[in-house]
Amino acid sequence: MISVRVALARLRGLLSRPSGDSRIEQEISAHLEMLAAEYRRRGLETEEAMLAARRSFGGAAQVRDQWRSQRGLPWVETFAQDIVYALRQLIHSPGFALASILTLALGIGANTGIYQVLYAVVFRPLPVADPQRLVELLVTEKGKPQHFSYPLFREIASRQNSLTGLFAVSEFPLHDATLRGRGLAKSVHGAIVTGDYFRVLGVTPRAGRFFRAEDDRTAAPLAVISDRFWEAEFARSPEALGQTLDINHVPVTIAGVTPPGFFGETLGLTPDIWVPMRLQPRLMPEDFLNGAYTWLAVLGRLRPDLSIHQAQAALDAAYQRDPDHLGGHLELHSATRGVDGLRQFADPLYVLMATVGLILLIAACNLANLLLSRAAARTHEIGVRLAIGAGRARLIRQLLTESFVLSAIGAALALPLAQWGSRTLVSLAAQRVSLETGSHALAFTATVAILVTSLFGIAPALAATRVDVHDALQSSHNRASGSVRGRALARALVVAQVSVSLLLVSAAGLLVRTLWNLRYQDFGFEPERILHVSLPFEVTAWRRLAAIAPSLSESLASLPGVRTVAVSSCGPFSTIQRTGWFAAPGRPAEETDGARMVYVSPGYFEIMGRIVAGRSITADDRKDAIPVAVLSQTAARRLFGNENPMGRFISGGKQFDRRNQLLVVGVAHDVHYTPRDAMGFVVYMPLAQSPAPVTDIELRAAGDPARLAAAVRDAIRNADPSLRVSEVRLLRARIESELTQEKMMAWLSTAFGALALLLTFVGIYGVVGYAVERRTREIGIRVALGARRGQIAGLVLKDVSVLLAAGILVGGAVSVAAGRALHRLLFGIGSVDSTLALAAVLIATVSLAAGYLPARRAARLDPTEALRQE
């Protein structure tokens, strides 16, 4: 208690410093006067009395000091003194201060910025009640997780008691639902959920009410809207409740609004509207509620008394008892952070985090070098201070305070930079992530600042104060040489910089080549001059399209500049895929087949494919003609091995079924569905023979396809004004949009690689330049004794080369390891690669250039000048 009170009193003292100082002054002078008066009473003269009083009082200065140090918190004061001193030092060398603060602000800012995104993507718990108890249910077959079908979800839900509740949800394909009746038809992001969705997540409505379990039975046409949608569409008016929205031609009544910040259960998705599961058959072209469509994510909340393992055991047992179970096992995974829709984004973020960490490391090396040379320049000053009795610890503290002040200012500037950076990063990656600046970002910034201060501050402070006082005072300001350890440290820092730069540059090379490889790979069709139209997946549109497709195709084909038109369902670069099993006589479908089904119109293979054998699908493949199929090369190989597939039969399903047989009439080149998609098992069937929702229209243009876009939109609108088009883009642009992340990584890694090179250049230039300056006299003597200029430059460059070689050796080893760690992000790059060699050449060039400039200066030294220098 006493110590707390003393601490508080001292704190008060510290804050009321000026008045406190005058208090002790007044007390001392009053005391001296009373004492002097006493002496005068005893008969001393005024002067003598005052002297006697002073003697008797003792050292007034000591009393004052002691009183002061006791009154406040002395370490705070010395710290404040140090800071003031540090600031003064920095103001004296504004160039150094500006350069280091800028370096730190950029370095720390980049780190905080990427950390903020990483936190939002990987670490942040869902903004719902008690997210720790949320689990995701997965059916895992051979290690491959699968979605649930609705019947399976119902079955598990009715049999389990390990969860206090569970729900099924799917954003697909309602993520591109059509909202009509509020201005032009537009796309809204919808999610379809079972009745317990909001209760299990533990969210309370911002307004109105959420769905209830009974809504699953009644199939009530309700909707819950997001706060953002509420604001955008209704300006947050309470009148919105009870209003009707037309979603995919289904009228739904707004029942409630979610709280701000709620984005559902899946990271990276931010639905505007939630509708009950029972509306599914009315919202989409097919009834997914009955049958084996596996399309649902299932989440639940653990019973408080059960561990995740106990619950998993019980649920798996229930699953195994289900007569229709799919095989495999039911597993529970923690869903504290939600369903991970952004795992693809997490890997690049980790790589970027490491990259900016390394950049900061290089920057810290430069700062350490700067501080070392500053310290060397201050050897004399430090020697003097040591000689007059300053403790080494006190001096180290002083020097560290300078570093700390730099970091603190840098960190303060880093915060706004980080805000900007994280937002830019998220938009570059075209991701929907809500970012927030919380205490975690501040804590991270502070930690990084402290870490980096210790990185660049401690070693130079130790080296600077390890000074022989005698030597330091003997030498003059200019020639003070800094300690041997300081120089060794500077060289080690250069090696570190070179190796880290090599790592970053070679990683950038790999990522750029990955982008190139993905972009210009053989997609299995010629991707140039294709215009690609995506259509929303909705019932009425599909029915209308099926009816008007032939005439629409004709009117599109008659547009000037159009060479070929095709319509298709679920092909490459469609937002929707359809998979199933295919068997041939005597060859049942295998688990690993996973065939994709594409329904196409005549002309399709002239745009999105390449027939390698047989024929393509033509206008003759009518409904009443013999059902045919075209196989991809992989499909042909899997189903028929090396035999000729032409004229053979296949059928859908796990076993061959004569009644549904399709005649194989052609083989098409394998295609990539997306840039990273493995070429695979595809079966093409004529749209005319298998009614399927048209999802895409493809056009091959004679000239620039971009010119066609407006005409194509008009033609579709003229064909049916109620049709909405999701997207009209060049296929090249669609490919590019699939490569957003790779592009982001290629750009950022290149920028960071260049930054690393620049920092390394500056670092080497500084260290070598300083070494040359230090050796001016020696070089002068050498020149005077007849050394040729080339020899002098060689002498300096030899020094650089040794460091460079060491750096490339270390960096090369690290880069090879890093290349392996990066493999998930890379594409089309073997384990041994020329990129590293190129990067090494680049680093060597830059380093030697950085060394060459001071070397040239050394070689041009005038010996008389050099020797005259003291």
Partner 1 sequence: MGNMNEARSEVPYGTLDLMVLKTLDTLGPLHGYGIARRIEQVSQGSLELNQGTIYPALLRLEQRGWITSDWGTSENNRRARFYSISPAGRKQLTAEAENWSRTVAMVNRLLEGQW
Interface residue list for partner 1 (CB under 8 A): 2, 5-6, 9-10, 23-24, 26-28, 30-31, 33-35, 37-38, 56-60, 62-63, 66-67, 70-71
Closer by beta carbon to partner 1, 56 or else 655: 56
Smallest separation (angstroms) from partner 1 to the CB of 391: 24
Tell me whether residue 35 or residue 607 sits nearer to partner 1 (CB atom).
Answer: 35
Strand partners, 225: 257, 273
Nearer to partner 1, 40 or 228 (CB): 40
CA atoms within 13 A on the CB side of 38: 12
CA distances from 82 to 364, 400, 407 (A): 22, 9, 15
DSSP letter at 475 equals S
Residue whose CB is less far from partner 1, 38 or 246 = 38
- Residue count of the chain, please give it: 870
10 vs 777, which CB is nearer to partner 1? 10
Q: Shortest gap between Cβ of 70 and partner 1 (angstroms)?
A: 6
C-alpha 158/C-alpha 726 separation (Å) is 39
- Region of 522 on the Ramachandran plot (φ > 0 left; ψ -120 to 50 alpha; else beta): beta
CA-CA-CA-CA torsion for 464, 467, 469, 470, nearest 10 degrees? -130
Looking at the Cβ atoms of 66 and 558, the one nearer to partner 1 is: 66
Q: Which residue number, 34 or 802, has a Cβ lying nearer to partner 1?
A: 34
CA dist 783 and 769 (Å) reads 18
Closest separation between CB of residue 6 and partner 1, Å? Answer: 5
Write down the least CB distance from residue 63 to partner 1, Å.
Answer: 4
Nearest CB to partner 1, comparing residues 8 and 784? 8
Question: Hey, which bits of 673-747 come out as E strands?
Answer: 682-686, 696-701, 727-730
* CA count, 13 A, side-chain hemisphere, 528: 6
Using the minimum distance from each CB to partner 1, give the nearer residue, 2 or 91: 2
Number of CB atoms found within 10 A of residue 552's CB: 22
**In this complex, which beta carbon is closest to partner 1, that of residue 67 or of residue 79?**
67
Nearest to 212 by CA among 227, 197, 190, 192: 197
SS3 611: strand
Quote the least distance from Cβ 31 to partner 1, whole Å: 5
Q: Are 843 and 501 within 8 A, CB to CB? A: yes
SS3 481: coil
Nearer to partner 1, 67 or 234 (CB): 67
Buried b (16+ CB within 10 A) or exposed e, 351-362: bbbbbbbbbbbb
Q: How far is the CB of 204 from partner 1 (least distance, A)?
A: 50
- Quick one: CA torsion of 487, 493, 498, 503, rounded to 10 degrees? 170
Shortest reach from residue 29's CB to partner 1, in Å: 9
Query: How many other CB atoms sit within 10 Å of the CB of residue 316?
Result: 19
Query: How is residue 266 annotated by DSSP?
Result: B
Which one, 37 or 430, has the nearer CB to partner 1? Answer: 37
| Residue 17 C-beta: closest distance to partner 1, Å | 14
* Other beta carbons within 10 Å of 393: 9
**Of 26 and 660, which CB lies nearer to partner 1 in the complex structure?**
26
Helix (H) or strand (E) holding 681: none
**Least distance in Å: CB of 47 to partner 1?**
18
CB 80 → partner 1: shortest distance, Å? 21
Q: Which residues pair with 652 in a beta bridge?
A: 582
In angstroms, the CA 331 to CA 614 distance is 46
**Cβ 75 to partner 1, closest distance in Å?**
17
Output the smallest distance, CB 78 to partner 1, in A: 19
Q: Tokens 């298998």: give the residue.
A: 690
Residue 354: CB minimum distance to partner 1, A: 51
| Nearest distance from C-beta of residue 82 to partner 1, angstroms | 25
CB of 2 to partner 1, least distance (A): 5
Sign of the dihedral through C-alpha 457, 459, 464, 465: positive
Between 69 and 481, whose beta carbon lies closer to partner 1?
Answer: 69
Phi and psi dihedrals of 468, rounded to 5?
A: -80, 115
Q: How far is the CB of 36 from partner 1 (least distance, A)?
A: 10
**Residue 643 three-state SS:** coil
If the CB atoms of residues 31 and 491 are measured against partner 1, the closer one turns out to be 31
Q: Which residues are registered as beta bridge partners of 532?
A: 698, 729
Cβ at position 500, least distance to partner 1 in Å: 53
Asked if residue 771 lies in contact with residue 852, where contact means CB atoms within 8 angstroms, the answer is no
Q: Report d(CA 675, CA 524) in Å as an integer.
A: 11
**CB-side neighbour CA atoms (13 Å) of 116:** 28
Nearer to partner 1, 45 or 704 (CB): 45
**At 274, phi and psi to the nearest 5?**
-115, 135
Q: CA-to-CA distance for 724 and 229, rounded, in angstroms?
A: 20
The DSSP symbol for 570 reads S
Q: Please answer whether residues 671 and 682 qualify as being in contact, where contact means their C-beta atoms are separated by less than 8 angstroms.
A: yes
What phi and psi, each to the nearest 5 degrees, are found at residue 134? Answer: -80, 135
Closest to partner 1 by CB, 57 vs 581, is 57
Alpha-helical runs (H) found in 130-226: 150-159, 197-201, 215-218
Q: C-alpha distances in angstroms, 842 versus 186, 229, 643, 765, 803? A: 51, 51, 52, 16, 15
